Structure 1
Amino acid sequence: MTTSPGIHRSNEPAEVPEELREARATIDNIDAALVHLLAERFRCTKKVGVLKARLDLPPSDPGREDRQVERLRALAEDAGLDPVFAEKFLKFIVEEVIRHHEDIADSLAGEGAPTGA
Structure 2
Amino acid sequence: MILYFTADLMSTSRVQGPANAQGIALKVIGSKKGLLESINDETIALIVDLNPPARDAISTIQEAKAQHPELRVLVHGPHVQVDLLAQAKEAGADVLTNGQFHQKVGTILTQLAAG
TM-score normalised according to structure 1 size:
0.23
* Structure with the greater alpha carbon radius of gyration: 1
TM-score normalised according to structure 2 size:
0.24
